[in-house]
Structures are given as structure tokens and as C-alpha cells.
Structure 1
Amino acid sequence: MKAADLFYAGGPLFMSVVTIWGIGMLVFTAQKVIHFFVQGKVTKNGLGLILLFGSLAIVTGFLGQAIGLIAAFNAIEVAGDISPSLVAGGLKVSMIVPVYGTLIFILSLIAWGILKEIYVRKTEKLS
């Protein structure tokens, strides 16, 4: 499956919101990299924002999944008897947004951890 197909299968609304949180995380990560390496500023300001945007991505992903599952279960309730393969397909699609949010969260944890370690090492050198 192509990335664009996954994006639309996961639901453009929640996938777009999770993407916005991911872009925010990348912006603040790039900002801290520039502060540390280009400008030589050693501050802790903004490190928490990297984790905040990653956390928002995963939470939004799970919210999107919950809302999608509620809608799917309502449709199943109205339809009555449906095939197990149809339910399995719906459950598979419902996992797209949380997986995407989790990937962004993992990237934010990695970026935050690396930048925090760089901050600690640079402040130890200054002491």
C-alpha cells in the first residue's frame, strides 16, 4: 500500500492533524539543532516542546481510532449480521492513525533524548 493510500484510508482529518503535530515536532527539533550547533546557544528552552508535539501525535492517533471504532460499531449494530472478514478489515484500517502517531512519538523521543544528552554534555563542559 502506498503512503497516500494509507493516509486516506486512515481518515484525512485525523491523519492531517497527526501530520501537523509531526511537523511541529520537526520544527522544534530543527530549531534546537540550529541553536546548539549553528548559533552555539546552550539552553534547555524548547526541548519539552519536542515531546509535547510527539505526545499530541500519539494521543490524537488513539482518539481518531476510538472515534472510528465507535462509528464502525454503530454501523455494525444497525446492519446486524456481518462477516468476520469485514470486521477484521475495519479493525485493520482503524490501526493506521495510532500507528502513524506512535511513529511520530518514537521519533520525538529519539530527537528529545539526543538533544537532551547534547545539552547535558555542553553544560557540563561550561561548568
Structure 2
Amino acid sequence: MSVADLLKENFIDGGPIFMTLHYLMWILVIVFTVKATKTLHATNCDYQKLEKLSTTILFIGGFGLLFSLFYRAMGMYSAFSVLETSGDISPSLVAGGLKASLIAPLYSLFLFLVTALVWFVFRLKSIEVKFAGSLKSKT
């Protein structure tokens, strides 16, 4: 199974509406990371802009994680409501449903881990730039 097939299968199993929002969050994180990198490598680096961009990146990751947990809770509530009214359900069907309900939170957890790492790196760089700028102004 190729990566594209796996992403397509998880897109369908995770719920097309949420997974579309999730992929849009990934695109936003990539766009803001590129902007922050350009800001960092500019000749006159603005550390405040760099801090705002890195904070935005972290916010998108955190929001994606919280939104996916909310989405999962709604799905589990609906699933348990159906199980309650159905009566006898096979354990393999329940396990498959639980597996499918974990797709969105796993993708969002990975997004959050990446955004936290990107935030940390840019945060260190912005402190470095701020410190270097304050040294230049003193001399």
C-alpha cells in the first residue's frame, strides 16, 4: 500500500469534512513556517514578527488537536447512541469503529507535535535575534 493510498483511506475513514479542515491546517502551518523562515533570513530580521508567526503556528497545531478531540467525542457519542438502540453488536464492529475514531486525533496529534517543534525552534531564533539586536544597539 502506497502512502497516497493510506492517506486516501484515512481521509475517507476519518471523515471527509474534518480531514479537509485538518489538511488545510497543515497547509497553513507550512505557509506560516515558510514566512517565518523568510523573516528569519531577511537582512533586517523583525523579531516581533517572527514571534507572532511562531505563536500562530503553535495556535494552529493546538486548535487542530482540540478540534479533533471534540470531533472524536461527537462521533463516539453518536456511535454509542446507535449501539445502545441496536442491542447485539459484534465486538469486531465496535473495534473497527474505535479504530476509525482514532484517525483524526492521531493526525492532529502529529500536527501538534510538528508545530510545537517548529514553534520551539523559531522561539529560540527570535530570542537570539532580539539579543543580537540589543547588543548592536548598545555598541
TM-score interval (norm. to shorter): over 0.9
CA distance in 2, matches of 1:31, 1:86: 45
Rate the CA distance shift 1:103–1:80 in 2: closer, same or farther, 3 A. Answer: same
CA RMSD of aligned residues (A): 1.4
> Structure 1 segments of 4 or more deviating over 6 A?
none
* Compared CA separation, residues 37 and 82, structure 1 to 2 (3 A): same
Does residue 11 (structure 1) correspond to residue 15 (structure 2)? The answer is yes
Q: Displacement, 1:45?
A: 2.7
Distance 1:94 1:39 in 2: 47
Radius of gyration: which is bigger? Answer: 2
Q: How does 1:5-84 map to 2 (within 5 A)?
A: 5-43=9-47, 44-84=51-91
Structure 1 residues 76 and 39: alpha-carbon distance in aligned structure 2, compared to 1, 3 A threshold: farther
How far off is 1:81 after superposition? 0.9
TM-score normalised by L of structure 2: 0.85
1:59-107 alpha-carbon deviations (Å, 9 max, x no partner) = 1111111111111111111211111111111001000000011111111
State how many pairs are aligned. 127
Q: TM-score, normalised by structure 1?
A: 0.92
Q: Which moved more, 1:109-118 or 1:22-31?
A: 22-31
Partner of 2:137 in structure 1? none
Unaligned stretches of 5+ in structure 1?
Answer: none
1:118 CA drift (Å): 0.8
Aligned partner (choices 115, 119, 122) of residue 122 of structure 2: 115
